[in-house]
Chains A and B, each alone.
Chain A
Amino acid sequence: MAELRALVAVKRVIDFAVKIRVKPDRTGVVTDGVKHSMNPFCEIAVEEAVRLKEKKLVKEIIAVSCGPAQCQETIRTALAMGADRGIHVEVPAAEADRLGPLQVARVLAKLAEKEKVDLVLLGKQAIDDDCNQTGQMTAGFLDWPQGTFASQVTLEGDKVKVEREIDGGLETLRLKLPAVVTADLRLNEPRYATLPNIMGAGPKASASGNGSADVAPMEAGCRRLGQGQPCEPWPPVCRKPRRRRLR
Chain B
Amino acid sequence: MEGMVMRPLRGGALLRRNFLTCLSSWKAPPRIPRSSQSEALLNIANNGLPYAPLQTFTEEEMMLKRTVERFAQEQIAPLVLTMDENSKVEKSVIQGLFQHGLMGIEIDTIYGGTGASFFSSVLAIEELAKVDASVALFCDLQNTLINTLIMKHGTEEQKATYLTKLATEEIGSFCLSEAGAGSDSFSLKTRADKKGDYFVINGSKMWISHAEYAGLFLVMANVDPTRGYKGITCFLVDRGTEGLHIGKPENKLGLRASCTCPLTFDNVKVPEANVLGQIGHGYKYAIGMLNKGRVGIAAQMLGLAQGCFDYTIPYIKERVQFGTRLFDFQGLQHQVAHVATQLEAARLLTYNAARLAEAGRPFIKEASMAKYYASEIAGRTTSKCIDWMGGAGYVKAYPVEKYFRDAKIGTIYEGTSNIQLNTIAKHIDAEY
- Counting contact residues on chain B (CB < 8 A from A), the size range is 35 or more
Please choose the segment from B63-71, B264-272, B420-428 that sits at the chain A interface, where 4 or more of its residues have CB less than 8 A away: B63-71
User: Would you call B33 and A19 a contact (CB within 8 A)?
Assistant: yes
Please choose the segment from B96-104, B228-236, B253-261 that sits at the chain A interface, where 4 or more of its residues have CB less than 8 A away: B96-104
B residues less than 8 Å from A194 (CB atoms): 67, 99-101
Chain B, range 276-327, C-beta contacts under 8 Å to A: 318, 320, 322-323, 325
Residue of A195, A235, A241 near B102 (CB, 8 A) is A195
Residue of B34, B62, B114, B318 near A195 (CB, 8 A) is B114
A residues less than 8 Å from B325 (CB atoms): 237-238
User: Would you call B100 and A192 a contact (CB within 8 A)?
Assistant: yes
User: Would you call A35 and B323 a contact (CB within 8 A)?
Assistant: no
B residues less than 8 Å from A36 (CB atoms): 38
Task: Give the number of A-B contacts (CB < 8 Å).
Answer: 83
The verdict on B21 contacting chain A, using a C-beta distance below 8 Å, is yes
B residues less than 8 Å from A128 (CB atoms): none
Residue of B4, B31, B322 near A17 (CB, 8 A) is B31
User: Would you call A202 and B59 a contact (CB within 8 A)?
Assistant: yes
User: Would you call A35 and B114 a contact (CB within 8 A)?
Assistant: no
The verdict on A201 contacting chain B, using a C-beta distance below 8 Å, is yes
Main SS of chain A's interface residues?
Answer: loop
Selected A-B contacts with CB under 8 Å, 25 pairs: A17-B31, A17-B33, A36-B38, A73-B59, A77-B63, A193-B67, A194-B67, A194-B99, A194-B100, A195-B64, A195-B100, A195-B102, A195-B105, A195-B116, A196-B109, A198-B60, A199-B109, A199-B114, A201-B63, A202-B59, A237-B318, A237-B320, A237-B325, A238-B323, A241-B322
User: Would you call B100 and A17 a contact (CB within 8 A)?
Assistant: no
- Counting contact residues on chain A (CB < 8 A from B), the size range is 20 to 34
User: Would you call B101 and A35 a contact (CB within 8 A)?
Assistant: no
A76 and B33 contact, Cβ closer than 8 Å, known pairs A195-B102, A195-B116: no
Complex formed: what's the CA distance from A18 to B67 in Å?
16
User: Would you call A35 and B320 a contact (CB within 8 A)?
Assistant: no
**Minimum C-beta distance from A208 to chain B (A):** 15
Complex formed: what's the CA distance from A35 to B37 in Å?
6
The verdict on B36 contacting chain A, using a C-beta distance below 8 Å, is yes
Complex formed: what's the CA distance from A17 to B322 in Å?
30
B residues less than 8 Å from A19 (CB atoms): 33, 36
The verdict on B93 contacting chain A, using a C-beta distance below 8 Å, is no
Complex formed: what's the CA distance from A80 to B64 in Å?
10
A34 and B114 contact, Cβ closer than 8 Å, known pairs A16-B31, A194-B101, A241-B323: no
A199 and B31 contact, Cβ closer than 8 Å, known pairs A33-B38, A239-B323, A240-B323: no
Interface 1/0 per residue, B106-135 and A, CB below 8 Å = 000100001110001000000000000000
Complex formed: what's the CA distance from A238 to B325 in Å?
8
Q: Which residue of A lies closest to B112 (CB)?
A: A196
A residues less than 8 Å from B18 (CB atoms): 235, 237
**Minimum C-beta distance from A105 to chain B (A):** 28
User: Would you call B67 and A195 a contact (CB within 8 A)?
Assistant: yes
Interface 1/0 per residue, B1-43 and A, CB below 8 Å = 0001000000000000010010000000001111011100100
Residue of A18, A77, A193, A238 near B320 (CB, 8 A) is A238
B residues less than 8 Å from A18 (CB atoms): 33-34, 36
**Minimum C-beta distance from B101 to chain A (A):** 3
A192 and B60 contact, Cβ closer than 8 Å, known pairs A18-B33, A235-B18: no
**Minimum C-beta distance from A79 to chain B (A):** 10
A residues less than 8 Å from B37 (CB atoms): 33-35
Complex formed: what's the CA distance from A10 to B41 in Å?
20
Complex formed: what's the CA distance from A193 to B60 in Å?
11
Q: Which residue of A lies closest to B314 (CB)?
A: A19
Interface 1/0 per residue, A11-39 and B, CB below 8 Å = 00000111101000000000001111100
A199 and B60 contact, Cβ closer than 8 Å, known pairs A192-B71, A193-B67, A239-B323: yes
A residues less than 8 Å from B4 (CB atoms): 235
**Minimum C-beta distance from B39 to chain A (A):** 9
Q: Which residue of A lies closest to B34 (CB)?
A: A17
The verdict on A226 contacting chain B, using a C-beta distance below 8 Å, is no
Chain A, range 59-102, C-beta contacts under 8 Å to B: 73, 76-77, 80
**Minimum C-beta distance from A220 to chain B (A):** 31
Q: Which residue of B lies closest to A37 (CB)?
A: B66
Complex formed: what's the CA distance from A165 to B18 in Å?
38
A198 and B63 contact, Cβ closer than 8 Å, known pairs A17-B32, A192-B70: yes
Complex formed: what's the CA distance from A240 to B64 in Å?
47
Looking at B21, B60, B99, which has the most chain A CB atoms within 10 Å of its CB? B60
